Amino acid sequence: METNSVSKLLVLVFTVLFVGSELIHCSVTYDRKAIIINGQRRILISGSIHYPRSTPEMWEDLIRKAKDGGLDVIDTYVFWNVHEPSPGNYNFQGRYDLVRFIKTVQRVGLYVHLRIGPYVCAEWNFGGFPVWLKYVPGISFRTDNGPFKAAMQSFTQKIVQMMKNEKLFQSQGGPIILSQIENEYGPESRALGGAGHAYTNWAAKMAVGLGTGVPWVMCKQDDAPDPVINACNGFYCDDFSPNKPYKPSLWTESWSGWFTEFGGPIYQRPVQDLAFGIARFIQKGGSFFNYYMYHGGTNFGRSAGGPFVTTSYDYDAPIDEYGLIREPKYGHLKDLHKAIKQCERALVSSDPTVTSLGTYEQAHVFSSRNGACAAFLANYNSNSAAKVMFNNRKYNLPPMGFT
C-alpha cells in the first residue's frame, strides 16, 4: 500500500514536471496568413501603451481596460534616453521600470510587442536617443557607421538580455511575442542609398542573432531582409502587402488620432472611420493590427519631442490621457473586436472569395475546410448608404461601412 502510494506520487511529480516544461517551451512563428503561437494561427488585436507616459500605479488599470476592450497585445517602444542617461549608467526605476510593466501585462493575461528601436520617433525628445550619443567621436546616426552601430547594438543587447533574464520572451514562457528593430527607416534608407541598405541589413542580422525565439519586425521598411517581417504604419493599410509571399500582413500603427502641438488644433478621428480602416484591412487578409495609441498619456518633464509637441499625448485614443474610457470610441471598437474574433478561425484558414453586390458594394467570404465561415459586406460609397442582398437576406450598409 505504501509502495503504491509512493509510485503514484512519483508519477504525479513527473507529470507536473513534464507539463511544466511544455508550458515554458512555447513557440512563435509565422506564415503568409498570420502569426502562429504554439501552432495556432491568430488574429491579434494590439494597442500601444507607453510605460513612461503614465505612472506605475496606472499600468494595471490601463492594461485591464485594454483587455476588456478586446485586445490581445500591448505594444510599447523602449526609450533609450531615459534608460541610459549617460554611457553605461542605467535607470529602470519608477515610470521607467520596463520589466515591471511587461510583467503587469503578463499578469493581466495579454501578450507584448516590444519595439526596441532604439530610434523610436514617437514625438519623444531626440527620437529616444540619449543626448550624449551625439558627442561620440565620429558618429553618424542611423547609417552604416561603426560608432553608431556599436552603441545601438550595446543597448539592444542590454534590453534583450534583461528580458531573457526575466524569462519574458514567449519562447521562455513569457508574454513577448514580437520585437521591433529600427523604426520607420524606409524613407531614410532610400535617401541614403547603399549606406542605408547596408545599415538595414546589419540591423536585421544583429537583431535576429540575439536569439530571442520570437519574430522581429521592421515597420515602413519595404526591403526588410528575411526572416524579419516588414509592416505598415498609417491611417489606412488595406493596400499594404508584405515583401515576401510567405510573410503575414501586419499593421504596426493604426493611428487612432494624432498628436497635438502648441497653437495647433486638437485632432480627432471619428471611430467609424477608424473601424472601417480596420475592417477593410482584415478583409484584405491582414491578421495583426495595433492602435497607435490605445492610451496616449502624458509627456512628463521634458520628454516631449519638438519643436512644439504638447505635454498631453492624448491622441484621441480609446483610453484618454487620464486613463478614462473615451466613448463612443472604446465601445465601438470593442464591438468590432468581438465580431472579428468570432470570425477568427475562418479568417486565418482561408482566402476570401470576392463577389460584387453592386457598383460600390462587395462581399468577401471566408470559408474554411472545417465549416467555419465569415463574410464582410462592404459599401465603398462615401456619400450614400446602400441596401444589398446576400444569401437571400437584406442588409443596410452605411456610407463607407461594413457589416
Q: List, by residue number, the catalytic residues.
A: 184, 253
Could you tell me the sign of the dihedral formed by the alpha carbons of 313, 311, 302, 131, in that order? positive
Nearest-angstrom CA–CA distance, 180 and 118:
9
Cα 388 to Cα 358: distance, rounded to the nearest angstrom = 8
Rounded-to-integer distance, Cα 344 and Cα 350, Å: 10
Closest among 223, 228, 229, 354 to 285, alpha carbons compared: 354
Q: Is the peptide bond before 328 cis (omega within 30 degrees of 0)?
A: yes
Residues 92 and 83: their CA atoms lie apart, in Å, by 6
Q: Dihedrals φ, ψ of 200, to 5°?
A: -60, -45
Distance CA 351, CA 134 (A): 49
DSSP 298: B
Beta-bridged to residue 84, according to DSSP, are: none
Distance CA 148, CA 162 (A): 21
Q: Which residue has the cell 506564415?
A: 31
Alpha carbon distance 288, 211 (integer Å): 23
* Residue listed under C-alpha cell 492602435: 291
* Dist. CA 256–CA 383, nearest whole Å: 23
* Those residues with Cβ within 8 angstroms of residue 12's Cβ, 6 or more apart along the chain or in another chain: none
Only one residue has cell 531582409, namely 225
Which of 229, 265, 269 is CA-nearest to residue 245? 229
Contacts of 295 (CB under 8 A, 6+ apart): 47, 48, 49, 53, 54, 62, 65, 66, 317, 318, 319, 320, 323
* Cell 491582414 found at: 286
